[in-house]
Structure 1
Amino acid sequence: MAAGSTKPGAKPGQKGGLAHRVKTAPKKSEAKTLKRKRGQEDLGKLQTAVDQLDPKSTDIKNFTDLPLCDATATGLRASHFEVLTDVQRAAIPLALKGNDVLGAAKTGSGKTLAFLVPVLEKLYRARWTEYDGLGALIISPTRELAVQIFDVLRKIGRNHYFSAGLVIGGRSLKEEAERLGRMNILVCTPGRMLQHLDQTAGFDVNNLQILVLDEADRIMDMGFQSAVDALVDHLPRTRQTLLFSATQSKRVSDLARLSLKDPEYVSAHEAAASATPTNLQQSYIVTPLAEKLDTLWGFLRTNLKSKIIVFLSSGKQVRFVFESFKRMQPGISLLHLHGRQKQVARMEITSRFSSAKFACLFATDVVARGVDFPAVDWVVQADCPEDADTYIHRVGRTARYESNGRAVLFLEPSEEQGFLKRLEHKKVPIQKVNVREAKKKSIKNELQSYCFQSADLKYLGQKAFISYTRSIHLQKDKEVFKFSELDLDGFAESLGLAGTPQIKFQKGEDIKRLKNASRAAASSGSESDSDGDGPKRKKDQVRTKYEKMAERQNQDVLSSHYRKLLDDADPAAASDDEADFLSVKRVLVDDAALDAAAGSTSAKATTEPRIVKLGATSELVIDSNRREKLLKSKKKLLKYMDKGSKLVFDDEGNAHPVYELQDEDEFALQGPAGELRRKFVDAEAEKVREADVDDKAHAKERRREKRERQKAREREEMEGMEEEDGEGPQLKDADDGEDPLALLRSLPVAGESVDEEEREPPKKKARKWFEDEESGEEGVSRNKMKKGGKRVIEMAAEPDTLEDLEALAAGLLED
């Protein structure tokens, strides 16, 4: 049939075949109606299956045994999730039926899928769309865990039409707020989510269907308590709530804060003999604080073909250990991760460690919960965790889901007994191991050398020391963490520090106690503590102005005044002074007699004079309370101490004075002093003469080079003038750099007649030594221009004479 022909009965311009198909095909509206009807029927069947589901059935072993929609089942199958774990088998059926769930299971047991599958099914059965707003909110304590949850959600929910977002900070709040209103599922951290709820206009959470708290015990701790309470106040009461953690909280106060309705408690391993995975080998090492870094270094050197996570108590310790070990090059790739890093850096480090085969990651507790690093061989806890729950979460980074793993804990001798009790109470099996003597190696000298060479590393070491001691001081469990028994001097030395840094919080308490001691003594007791038989002062008794002055211990004028009174009152002392009239001796103040005369109540009234050495030759006599206080101020003691001498260090690190005097006997053996002086003067004079000859030769060479350059310039000028004399006058284009008005200026003015013979060509300006060889100054100004219109003059050598400097100045002024 021809291309333009139609069948009989067909409308003009319409092909017969197309018209036939249009008549037989169903209408689009009918197809949509049929599709919607089939979807409603499938949804009804799915809801019926969920209602008939028995959560306690033992026949549920695979994901295919659960009443799931096709989109979820296909996503799980494509992500290779087939068999249900214990916590998934217990929690997912309850969550599908709409119950609130408290889920507790060992680390690495698949808790993430236990709440993501119910989230997808909840929104699917509710026919949720992007126009319905936020339907599910998943809260995680750390950014790394939130990113991991979001990645798993993308894998299993790839066939759903829900929109999901990740809100963890690290980027612009405005940028996140623009996309927030279109999200159906949000994975977030508490602080960032609360910030959006308070500041993002139009963000509606009133239709929220399900709330999930991963690592719920950590989120309900004091660190997140205020943020979580404020966040829950924004959420509707009619919602489903799921709480999951390896160590679940069952406190009534926590459950009431979250408005849980008859929650179902699921503990997949409650009857297990151990709170940690059975395929995890756990041990601990008792190492003094001063040897902790030595032990850690030996451990890394022994396990170079392993993937290791080392937990430390603070970010400053992480930075110091990472920077110092990186300089020492243990032979394994080193990474570090802490909460002070930027979000992009944290994501990059997490990715690098996940893909590495052998590496060591120094980290704080930001990765202690929920984060799944593949194939971790060792978890090393260099610092004792704050409680047994933190220990369980840390060791859970290895031995994930039926894989093997090993963990080792470093304990200080004072921490051993108390912390082992905590682990025993939590049913954590652990055994003690000893470090082989052959594997021990002290790295104190190397760290001290690096700290001496790098001020930044020394600063990090000081901060690491202070942060560790502060963390121990603030720990609540004083049965485990005993601050007073720590060897702080040895710990500072092990970090490579020359001295023990001053701890401000400890210093403040000491100073406060010292300042309040004299006040307490003055206001609490008798008028004279030395004899004890004086009458007690009443509490409300008024003291006179002079009594208050007498009780003060730091008044030099008052002390001298009472000293004179004592000298006048004691004739024996006067006779001694007259007898020793011409003798010169140091006068020591008798504080006991002085305070007794003044009625002092200070406990230091019987202080004996003593001499304190401040250096090799300087001494300080402590004969008064003011001198006693000098010992507490380094700044005030400086004027009494010896002046320091400058030292230099040789190649072996030994210190020597800048100028060292030779021994007198050795000097005498060298000969008479006059002869030595003459030899020294002759030797120095010879050095001066040699240097003078070299200087003269150098100056002569420079003058010769200058003359050659000047002759070369003169030859070039002569050649240029000869070439110009041989050529006729030529007109150049304005684009060649010549003055475009030069031709106009050469034309005669109206009313004037100038003969050809009288018109003289303009004299060519002599080219300066610094100008371009091709086109003189104009060529320089054209070819030697840089950005900003500045002229650059190239010089073959630095100007030597006054004429050169004048020529250079003239060239610059002509610009």
Structure 2
Amino acid sequence: MAQGVTGRTRRTKPKKQERTQKRKRDDVDAEKLEEAVAELDPKVAVESFTDLPLSAPTKAGLKSVHFTTLTPIQAKAIPLALKGFDILGAAKTGSGKTLAFLIPVLENLYRAQCIGGDAGLGAMIISPTRELAIQIFDVLVKVGRKGHLFAAGLIIGGKSLQEERDALARMNIVVCTPGRILQHLSQTAMFNCDNLRMLVLDEADRILDMGFQRDVDAIVEYLPKERQTLLFSATQTKRVSDLARLSLQDPEYVSTADPAESATPKTLQQNYIVTPLSEKLDTLWSFIQSSKKSKILVFLSSGKQVRFVYESFRHLQPGIPLLHLHGRQKQTARLDITAKFRAAKTSCLFATDVVARGLDFPAVDWVVQVDCPEDADTYIHRVGRTARYERAGRAVLFLDPSEEEGFLSRLEAKKVPIEKINVRQKKQSSIKNQLQNMCFQDPTLKYLGQKAFVSYVRSIHVQKDKEVFKLGELPLEEFAASMGLPGAPRIKFQKGDDAKARKNAPRAKLSDSEDESGEEADAKKQDGVRTKYDRMFERKNQDVLADHYAKMIRNDDVSPEELNNLDGTQAEDDDLFSVKRRIPVSEDEDEDEDAASVDGDAADRIPAGVKAVSIPGAKDPIILDSKRREKLLKSKKKLLKLKDKGTKLVFDDEGNAHQIYELENEDDFKAAGTAEEQRRRFLEEEAERVKQADLADKALAKDKKRAKKEKRKERERAEEDEEEEGAALDDGEDAMANFIADAQDSDEEEDEEPEEREEKPAKRPKKWFEEDGPAMKKRKQQTEAEPETLEDLEALASRMLG
């Protein structure tokens, strides 16, 4: 290989510069941009992005994704944000609010040269859901990849916490969810927000709800007071408390909605159907069957309902790809499902309100709301998933007759135009029988249906607007039957509205509804304090299925009034299946049952109303006073503990069975003499028996010794005879005849018992290295003489080779 030529086929890169030098930009004319922004008049209408004082990388990024014309919310919000005003923005769904805050974020940090790890965090964008945060981050990457050098990151739940910690120290822009960013603010040591310039809250009204209000309050405490804050949402209110909490400074309220206009896009056709609760699934199935070539988004009130409807319809095979999305899924599954639904041309996605806000699914034809939304704002966000960016779309709302009047008045107050339509009965098909069959064959599906029923009823129960959601007027029994369930699961509602305060209340004072016996009351301490040990011993063991599953199973003795009782009273639960009557197979079995019945004395001891069962092998009957005791009858292993212990028998030499230890009768024992006399007699008999056995052993040993001595003499005589025969053989005797005779003699010796033969073992022949002859001596001399010269080595080698 020639000198100076290496194995690399590509040009060696020069030494990397320091980060501060690498991130430094000499082509940025910040002064000209600052002058252009200062001369910008927010009141002048701007139609194109080229009319705004934007940097070259931002213009190139907008051109690459084909954004040229400003939407109304962008035309009003971007100039104010570029000048550094705090903004409170409200616009219809699908109007381009994401670019309204992403462009000011990029431009303000670009002019301030907030680039590199030394600059720290410059902007924080908070989103209520992970899917919306991912969507915002994707738009940020598309617009900022044409020349911007900012380090941006996505901080959401469901990802590696350590990887996020390592990357946070280098980030300039963060897109995050409230819970995850608060975790890093409180736990990550290298995460510093002292240089934060901009805070953006997308879907601000959702973030400021009860679920995120405390998180936002805690996040704001970590951020500097001197910053720019932008709040955007489709439904926005100017609440003074929210503005004060987020420390907005003279905010500009930007809204594109005309007071006389509707809160939803004009291209959206909105309808509602009045359908009873028991016919909702049938109507939904019929609708999907008639819209197989469409892209449908179906909203349900809870994740358990989403799972049940998805699994049920998937078994029925409607002829259209089905997907489901809810908050209990893992992050990877949620990303995969959203990506599939975005790319699909025809599909049906069952989802909760986790996708109701901000998400942009292209070309959604229908938005179907099977369950009534909690308020008009939620309705507006749901239907906003279709008819985006002036495209056409349709939305259908299912309303129960008890919900129609109240919710339509809420929509009228928000100026939402909606029209009633009817279902063609000829095209509507029922799936009640199929669902019943599936729930009967698959216990898991039935359990999902029961949980879905409970979650729906509870969601109606906790709604604040009681004029719309009237739980008492809903046909719960018919609804459960329409889901394929054998009966409506029983639900125990808590009294009062503040469940959290009730949960954290002290438990020293028991409620009046608890039924306590006098013995339990006496067992409690006089001061009324119950320790953790008291609660531990009062705790019941859990079976494979917890108590909440047993509570959903309806008992035959429960009346419909008790079933729909909402005051918390609950009757005693029984098993799902109970034996009412058993027909004996034969008369023998009837006799066995009579023999296994409880005797009169035991029946007197059993309390009234308690079952008792007698089993073979147990003297006393088994009292079935609880469900756990009834389950004992199904386990053979547990029944063994309840049966009486058996007796162990041994067999003597003659094959007769008797117990291990048999006690002699006391009279017979006394007739044989006193205990001392019997002991002395026993010792004398045993001593005499041992003496006779010793004499027999000595005689046997003497005979064996005599026999060994005779065999030794015979062997010596045989050896002398062999020597004489060998001498005679040399004189010319027949060698073959002698060999045959010797072989016969050896066979006779082998037939003797091993004990009678007492031959010495033959000596082991010596190995070649153990020889004492002249060859061995010569070999030792050769090995002892070490070769000194080359000639000696050659001679040694020739000797070893032979």
Q: Do these two structures clear the TM 0.5 threshold for a shared fold by scoring above it?
A: yes
**C-alpha deviation, 1:350, in angstroms:** 0.4
1:631/1:637 contact within 8 Å kept: no
Corresponding residue to 2:112 among 121, 126, 130:
126
Structure 2 Cα separation of the partners of residues 437 and 178 of structure 1: 61
Tell me the alpha carbon deviations over residues 651-689 of structure 1, each in whole angstroms, 9 at most, x when there is no partner.
xxxxxx99799xxxxxxxxxxxxxxxxxxxxxxxxxxxx
- Check the 8 A contact 2:263/2:416 in 1, yes or no: yes
Within-5 A mapping of 1:205-216: 205-216=193-204
5 Å matches for 1:752-791?
A: none
Q: Residues 238 and 515 (structure 1 numbering): CA distance in 2 closer, same or farther, change over 3 Å?
A: closer
Letter in 1 for 2:572: S
User: CA offsets per residue over residues 305-346 of structure 1, 9 Å max, x none?
Assistant: 000000000000000000000000001000000001010000
> Which of 70, 73, 77 is 1:91 aligned to?
77
**Contact (CA 8 Å) 1:273, 1:427: kept in 2 or not?**
yes
Counterpart of 2:48, as a letter, is: N
Match of 1:457 among 445, 448, 456: 445
User: How do 1:564-579 residues align onto structure 2 when only pairs under 5 Å count?
Assistant: none
In structure 2, distance between residues paired with 1:329 and 1:386: 31
Instruction: Give per-residue Cα distances to partners, 1:152-173, cap 9 Å, x unaligned.
Output: 0001101200010000111121
Q: Corresponding residue for 2:483?
A: 495
* Alpha-carbon distance in structure 2 between the residues aligned to 1:382 and 1:122: 44
Partner in structure 2 of residue 224 of structure 1: 212
Compute the displacement of 1:442 (Å).
Answer: 1.2
**Structure having the higher Rg:** 2
Instruction: Give the C-alpha shift of residue 500 in structure 1.
Output: 1.1
1:230 and 1:631 mapped to 2: Cα distance? Answer: 42
1:702-721: CA deviation from partner (whole Å, max 9, x where unpaired) = xxxxxxxxxxxxxxxxxxxx
- The whole-number CA distance in structure 1 between the counterparts of 2:123 and 2:493 is 45
In 2, Cα distance between equivalents of 1:432 and 1:746: 115
- The one of 627, 639, 643 aligned to 2:580: 643
Q: C-alpha separation between the residues in 2 aligned to 1:319 and 1:183?
A: 38
- Secondary structure of 2:417's partner? coil
Q: Could you tell me how far apart the structure 2 residues matched to 1:306 and 1:37 are?
A: 52
Q: Tell me how far apart the structure 2 counterparts of residues 478 and 234 of structure 1 sit (CA, whole Å).
A: 39
- Residue 102, structure 1, aligned to residue 88, structure 2: yes
User: Separation in 2 of the partners of 1:642 and 1:329?
Assistant: 37
In 1, Cα distance between equivalents of 2:295 and 2:420:
22
- How big is the shift at 1:450? 0.6
Residue 152 of structure 1 corresponds to: 139
| Cα gap change, 1:751 to 1:264, in 2 (>3 Å) | closer
Match in the other structure for 1:590: none
Q: What corresponds to 2:356 in structure 1?
A: 368
Verify: 1:633 aligned to 2:572, yes or no.
yes
1:57 aligns with 2:44: yes
Take 2:441 and 2:586, find their aligned partners in 1: how far apart are those partners? Answer: 25
Q: Deviations over 1:416-465 (max 9, x none)?
A: 10000100000100011110001211111100111111111111101100
Q: Does 2:53 align with 1:116?
A: no
Residue 271 of structure 1 deviates from its aligned partner by 3.5
Task: Indicate conservation of the 8 Å contact 2:407/2:468, yes or no.
Answer: yes
SS of the equivalent of 1:132 reads coil
Give the corresponding residue for 2:306.
Answer: 318
Shift of 1:504: 2.4
8 Å contact kept, 1:62–1:82: yes
TM-score under structure 1 length normalisation:
0.60
Counterpart CA distance in 2 for 1:658 and 1:64 is 92
Distance, in Å, in 2 between the alignment partners of 1:752 and 1:506 is 103
SS in 1 for 2:212: helix
Percent of residue pairs identical = 67
SS of the aligned residue for 1:366 comes to helix
Q: 1:127 to 1:274 in 2, by over 3 A?
A: same
Which of the numbers 117, 128, 135 marks the counterpart of 1:141? 128
Structure 2 residue runs without a partner (length 5+)? 1-16, 498-509, 523-554, 558-568, 588-763, 773-802
For 2:225, the equivalent position in structure 1 comes to 237
* Deviations 1:211-232, CA, capped at 9 Å, x for gaps: 0000000001111001110011
Deviation at 1:633, TM superposition (A): 2.4
Match for 2:329 among 336, 341, 347?
341
Structure 2 residue 472 is matched with structure 1 residue 484? yes
* In structure 2, distance between residues paired with 1:138 and 1:227: 14
The separation in 1 between residues aligned to 2:360 and 2:50, in whole angstroms, is: 25
Q: Per-residue displacement from partner, 1:96-132 (whole Å, max 9, x unpaired)?
A: 0000001100000000000000000010111111111
* Mapping 1:684-763, distance limit 5 Å: 748=767
CA distance in 2, matches of 1:167, 1:506: 38
Residue 46 of structure 1 and its aligned partner are, at CA, apart by 1.1
Q: CA RMSD in A?
A: 3.2
Which of 388, 400, 403 is 2:391 aligned to? 403
Cα distance in 1 between the residues matched to 2:461 and 2:765: 94
- Structure 1 stretches lacking a partner, 5+ long: 1-27, 520-544, 550-613, 619-629, 646-656, 662-744, 754-815
Aligned length: 516
CA distance 1:46–1:637, shift in 2 (3 Å): closer
Is the partner of 2:350 in helix, strand or coil?
strand
* Superposition deviation, residue 44 in structure 1: 1.1
Distance change in 2, residues 1:302/1:658 (3 Å) = farther
Corresponding residue for 1:288? 276
| Change beyond 3 A, Cα 1:124–1:405 | same
Residue 431 of structure 1, aligned match among 408, 414, 419: 419
Aligned counterpart in structure 1 of residue 178 of structure 2, from 190, 193, 198: 190
Residues 147, 660 of structure 1: alpha-carbon distance in 2 compared, 3 angstrom cutoff: farther
**Contact (CA 8 Å) 1:216, 1:249: kept in 2 or not?**
no
- Mark the CA change 1:631 to 1:658 in structure 2 (over 3 Å): closer, same or farther: farther
Secondary structure of the residue aligned to 2:456 is helix
Partner of 1:682: none
Rounded Cα–Cα distance in structure 2 between residues aligned with 1:747 and 1:151: 90
Query: Is residue 290 of structure 2 the alignment partner of residue 351 of structure 1?
Result: no
Per-residue CA shift, 1:777-807, capped at 9, x if unaligned? xxxxxxxxxxxxxxxxxxxxxxxxxxxxxxx
Corresponding residue of 1:45:
32
Query: Whole-Å Cα distance in 1 between the matches of residues 63 and 260 of structure 2?
Result: 30
**Residues 34-85 of structure 1: per-residue CA shift (max 9 Å, x gap):** x97763xx22111111111110102x10000101011111111111000000
Quote the Cα distance in structure 1 between the aligned partners of 2:185 and 2:236.
27
Change (3 A) 1:201 1:658: farther
Q: Do 2:492 and 2:570's aligned partners in 1 also have CA atoms closer than 8 Å?
A: no
2: CA distance between counterparts of 1:259 and 1:210? 13
